Amino acid sequence: MKIIAMYLPQYHRVKENDEWWGEGYTDWVAVKNAESLFDGHDQPRLPLNANYYDLTDKDSMIWQSKLMHEYGIDGMCIYHYWFKDGRQILEKPAELLLEWKDVDMPFCFSWANETWARTWSGIRTSNHWADKYEQTSSGELVNSNGILLEQEYGSEKEWKDHFKYLQPFFRDERYIKVDGKPLFVIHNVEDISCLRKMIDCWNRLAYEAGFKGMFILGGGCRQEMTNVLDGQIYRYPRRALARIKKDKINGINVVEGQNAWDSLLEEPQEYNTIPYFMGFSGYDDTPRRGGKGTVITRVSPDRYERNIYELLKKNSRHGANFTFINAWNEWGEGMYLEPDEIDKYQYLQAIKNAKDQFESEECQFDKTLQVLGGKYTNLSILNKRTEANLRVLDRWLNLSEEGVNVGKNIADKYGDVVAVYGFGVLGRHLVRCLKSANVRIEYVVEKNVTVKNKYPILDDITVYSDYSVIPKTETIIVTAPFSFGEIKYNLEKLGRIGNIVSISEVLSEITNG
């Protein structure tokens, strides 16, 4: 289990911040000007030793990289801003990190795909960034609708331009990958109507660039989007703020910290894709939003250690290979792990202690597996494959229980002749299902050459153990949902297949159809 902290690249001067929020604005301005707004409100929170760093200074990143390694943080998930027509902001720290190869900071990107706007714009999903400073901004209204930077997704040209920008980062040895796939987080997928096409395009480009595709996690997912992603991030503390009771103190929304953590640790257990539960280091956005802000009170370091330990276990149980922490340095929202004048290094130490305990117990479990099984198994990969197969089987059973003839639906959609890739559990069910609907199976692709002898149902079907020699066909259904991206790419290179579809996609279309 790797721990990755969300990372804000805002701590350097840019002309847009000067225009919108006032000359020289960064989050440090908001942090320094924060006020205590009710009894017991711990503001202002000041970085230890007045370390108001600038992220264009290499020494700042060297300090951060040493600190993260010392306290068990495995990487930084850097917020990435890419707007309409490829407009960027706050990109300089990541670009400098790419140049500074000697800074030992493993990293990935989280595309913060929200429009930036004034609070009065009325845009529901926009990022307002620094409400408290709107009235004092030296730059008056940027335009009449209050939009500062507009988020649009374009079409294939724009997707290719975006990937072209990201590719040098993906090639960096420090960029975090999963089985050869660059890890990329999309902050909010809910409003991306072109999500499937965009991700298909990026996967194709990633294969062409020599990767094994992309590993994409998304937040804010609607159910029908989850089969497009490799996993869903449950973003906390945002979900807690939407789900639990808030008290009002001097007009400020206040949430008891452990209640927010309990909401996270008790999150319901039904998922359509692998869930990644995001922990948090605290929350207090009053430095940016003043009297309109919200505060989640901090739990004690000891309690925080226990919460992180339980979170690591929960993510592991669900097959997640990362635990994200919100955040490393979001000082303007009170979400930071960097040392401050009050708590020093206590919360960093809590994370290290929790991780050490979790890894010790996981190590003992692995040793037990070796004794029992004689061979070490990669549980993370196994769990993900199993989760993917179970989701397909669950959807299939639901359709059967509703009286839906899956085989007939496939025939109606793809015709009465198809090929099948994979003859594992899902493949065997699919072959039987298709035969019962009088769909002719042109051939089966299965690397295990002995299946022909074991399963009489294959007696009248040609089986190929080498996919590279398969003949031309109109449609092939892939029954390995976890590996679909890689399989699709390899089949597309043959140039002999019309439709290459995942069994997961087929069942989803029938369900929504």
Give the span between the Cα atoms of 206 and 186, in whole angstroms: 17
- Do 108 and 182 contact (CB within 8 A), yes or no? yes
Residue 375, domain member (yes or no): no
The three-state (H, E, C) secondary structure of 55-111, written as one string: CCCHHHHHHHHHHHHHCCCCEEEEEECECHHHCECCCHHHHHHHHCCCCCCCEEEEE
Q: Which of 380, 14, 336, 343 is nearest to 178 (CA)?
A: 380
Domain containing residue 387: 380-512
- pLDDT tens sequence across 176-189: 999 899 999 999 99
CATH number at residue 123: 3.20.20.80
User: Are both 128 and 91 inside the same structural domain?
Assistant: yes
Give the span between the Cα atoms of 284 and 241, in whole angstroms: 12
At which of 365, 397, 420 does a domain end? 365
CATH number at residue 438: 3.40.50
Q: Judging by beta carbons within 10 Å of its beta carbon (0-12, 13-18, 19+), is residue 450 exposed, middle or buried?
A: exposed
What confidence score (pLDDT) does residue 461 get?
92
Neighbours of 467 (CB within 10 A): 15
Neighbours of 334 (CB within 10 A): 27
HSE of 410, CA atoms in CB hemisphere, 13 A: 33
Give the span between the Cα atoms of 176 and 235, in whole angstroms: 20
Residue 36, domain member (yes or no): yes
User: Are both 172 and 273 inside the same structural domain?
Assistant: yes
What confidence score (pLDDT) does residue 77 get?
98
Amino acid at 257: G
User: Are both 223 and 179 inside the same structural domain?
Assistant: yes
Q: Which residues of the chain have pLDDT under 50?
A: 136-139, 141-143, 369, 371-378
Residue 284, domain member (yes or no): yes
User: Are both 103 and 182 inside the same structural domain?
Assistant: yes
User: Are both 442 and 300 inside the same structural domain?
Assistant: no
Give the span between the Cα atoms of 317 and 322, in whole angstroms: 12
User: Are both 284 and 404 inside the same structural domain?
Assistant: no
What confidence score (pLDDT) does residue 139 get?
46
At which of 314, 337, 365 does a domain end? 365
Q: What does the DSSP assignment read for 460-491?
A: TS-EES-GGGPPPEEEEEE--GGGHHHHHHHH
Residue 428, domain member (yes or no): yes
Give the span between the Cα atoms of 39 and 250, in whole angstroms: 9
Residue 371, domain member (yes or no): no
User: Are both 300 and 404 inside the same structural domain?
Assistant: no
At which of 365, 395, 416 does a domain end? 365
- Do 1 and 366 contact (CB within 8 A), yes or no? no
- Do 496 and 470 contact (CB within 8 A), yes or no? yes
Q: Which of 219, 85, 93 is nearest to 162 (CA)?
A: 85
Give the span between the Cα atoms of 164 and 366, in whole angstroms: 40
Residue 424, domain member (yes or no): yes
User: Are both 313 and 390 inside the same structural domain?
Assistant: no
What confidence score (pLDDT) does residue 392 get?
87
User: Are both 399 and 332 inside the same structural domain?
Assistant: no
**Cis bond before residue 168 (omega within 30° of 0):** no
Neighbours of 110 (CB within 10 A): 22
Backbone φ, ψ for residue 449 (5° rounding): -70, -15
Task: Please tell me the pTM assigned to this model.
Answer: 0.77
Give the span between the Cα atoms of 467 and 462, in whole angstroms: 12
What confidence score (pLDDT) does residue 144 get?
59
DSSP state of 179: T
**Cis bond before residue 237 (omega within 30° of 0):** yes
User: Are both 361 and 387 inside the same structural domain?
Assistant: no
Residue 374, domain member (yes or no): no
What confidence score (pLDDT) does residue 323 get?
97
**H runs (alpha helix) in 131-285:** 156-171, 195-208, 238-243, 257-265
User: Are both 360 and 392 inside the same structural domain?
Assistant: no
User: Are both 206 and 156 inside the same structural domain?
Assistant: yes
Residue 372, domain member (yes or no): no
Question: What is the count of structural domains for the chain?
Answer: 2
Give the span between the Cα atoms of 47 and 436, in whole angstroms: 68
Cα–Cα–Cα angle for 383, 389, 393, rounded to 5 degrees: 140
- pLDDT tens sequence across 26-48: 999 999 999 999 999 999 999 99
